[in-house]
Structure 1
Amino acid sequence: MRKLAERTAQSTNEIVGMVTSIQQSTHQVVTEVGNGVAMVNTSVAEARAAGESVANLRSMAQQIAGIVEEQSSALKQQSNASIEVAQRIENVVGHAQDVAHTAQQTTQTADTMEQVALQMQKLVARFRL
């Protein structure tokens, strides 16, 4: 019976050692799983932050596109206004040229009339007594 008791005690010690080893392994697994869960939670938080950043970038890009569209429209309006101003300036230049031509003709006509008047004065002076 003694041998049986010794074997039982030895088997019990072996079982205690195995249970202790299993408990330690289980504890390590639990710790590692906890670390893995923490890493997953961190990754999820970072993914959410990245998603928010992408949403912010998309919003900014849309705002910039709106501003560019407004500027494009303003530039088109300015271009049209510039074309209209250029056309009006061309009209003014055309009118100014017409006025200059008319003034030149008027000057020539006045010169001719002056010459005719001088000739008439000479003719009238001959008939005076």
Structure 2
Amino acid sequence: MLNPKRIFLIDAFGALLTTILLFSVLAQLEQYFGMPKDVLYLLAGIAFGLFIYSLSCNRFVKSNWKHFLRILIIFNSIYLLLSIGLIIKHSESLTVLGWIYFILEFIVIGVLITYELNSLKKENSIH
């Protein structure tokens, strides 16, 4: 049996880490990463919203968790696509450190979305 609370908690932890890195590290060291502060604050705000959503699901969702996980997968995918669009838009100003950060973030989010999708499929095949 899958543990949906664990899935939401993992996602919440990742979203919080992203929020902290974008807001407290990348935005404060903008010259080393090359992404404008307003873009980093926007992404950090969205990541924080995802943190609140995931943590709320972990804490309060008792049944019908698959519906809430589908919503989370959609929002994570939108965040990833928005990030890619912003990277393309600001690609000329990104430094090597900026590229490294965002490529690593894309990999982590991609792995997380895949894990969430697989968890949903596994649960659907059980029932």
TM-score interval for Structure 1 and Structure 2 normalised by the shorter chain = under 0.3
Q: Which has the higher contact order (CA 8 A, sep 6+)?
A: 2
More helix by share: 1
